[in-house]
């Protein structure tokens, strides 16, 4: 029988730890995990709530918006006294009351190609919620098949770079839609992004450092 893990308030997780496939070793892994939630609105709120209740050790929250009164009937982690506050701050306050075990990384910005590598790279899993006006960035994994089989990039589409033309013709990809290419080390994606900016889609970027940067184990 697995020993109870070393969290001081282990009683919080007793009912969860008896679920087959979790146990106390699984609870320790949850405590060590880093999950990024992009958006703290109607979809992001319950995700943040349940990740925090489950004991995820570090939850990153990306949202550049503030809490408005019209949010309160569906964005369940925001309260009346938080109207006017940043949603990331409101979410942190909520989680600190729900589960003091959880550490929150606040990112009070909207995700864009310039900040994506810095924000996404250190997390093990990414969950996206898009409710703001404007197109969401499209992450495209252009690695070969074998590296992709070994480890997938959360939230990314996989395709050969030559398929990008067909994808853009058959999907709603406007000139303002950011496209972020990801390869293994960031070199091939940078070359393709530069070519696409010149010939087809000026709003194309490369993930600096590539998948090696995004998928490296957390040092925390």
Q: What is the per-residue pLDDT for 174?
A: 76
User: Residue 117 and residue 209: Cα distance in Å, rounded?
Assistant: 8
Q: What is the per-residue pLDDT for 88?
A: 97
Report all structural domains of the chain as residue ranges with CATH numbers, in order of start. 33-133 (3.40.50.720), 135-220 (3.40.250.10)
Q: Quick check: 103 and 58 in contact, CB under 8 A?
A: yes
Q: What is the per-residue pLDDT for 131?
A: 53
Q: What is the per-residue pLDDT for 5?
A: 45
Q: What is the per-residue pLDDT for 37?
A: 93
Q: What is the per-residue pLDDT for 70?
A: 95
Residue range 6-57, pLDDT digits in tens: 555 678 998 898 888 888 888 889 999 999 999 999 999 999 999 999 999 9
The total of other beta-carbon atoms located within 10 Å of residue 133's CB is 4
Mean pLDDT of 101-128: 82
User: Residue 110 and residue 38: Cα distance in Å, rounded?
Assistant: 8
Phi, psi of 35 (to 5 degrees): -125, 135
Residue range 147-162, pLDDT digits in tens: 777 777 767 888 887 7
Q: DSSP per residue over 127-146, as a string?
A: EE---SSSPPPEEEE---HH
Q: Pick the range with the lowest mean pLDDT from 78-82, 109-113, 124-128, 194-198.
A: 124-128
Residue range 54-108, pLDDT digits in tens: 999 999 999 999 999 999 999 999 999 999 999 999 999 999 999 998 999 999 9
């Amino acid at each position: 029988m697995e020993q109870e893990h070393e969290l001081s308030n282990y009683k919080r997780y007793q009912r969860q730890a008896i679920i087959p496939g979790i146990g106390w070793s699984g609870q320790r892994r949850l405590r060590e995990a880093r999950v990024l939630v992009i958006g703290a609105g109607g979809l992001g709120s319950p995700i943040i709530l349940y990740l925090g209740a489950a004991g995820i050790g570090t939850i990153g929250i990306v949202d550049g918006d503030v809490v408005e009164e019209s949010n309160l009937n569906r964005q369940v982690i925001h309260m009346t006294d938080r109207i006017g506050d940043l949603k990331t701050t409101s979410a942190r306050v909520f989680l600190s009351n729900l589960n003091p075990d959880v550490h929150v990384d606040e990112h009070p910005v909207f995700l864009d190609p310039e900040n994506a590598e810095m924000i996404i790279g250190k997390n093990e899993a990414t969950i996206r919620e898009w409710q703001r006006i404007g197109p969401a960035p499209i992450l495209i994994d252009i690695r070969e098949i074998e590296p992709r089989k070994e480890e997938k990039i959360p939230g990314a589409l996989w395709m050969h770079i030559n398929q990008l033309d067909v994808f853009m013709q058959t999907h709603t990809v406007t000139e303002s839609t950011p496209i972020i290419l990801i390869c293994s080390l960031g070199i091939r994606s940078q070359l393709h992004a530069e070519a696409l900016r010149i010939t087809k889609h000026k709003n194309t970027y490369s993930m600096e450092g590539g998948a090696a940067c995004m998928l490296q184990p957390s040092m925390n």
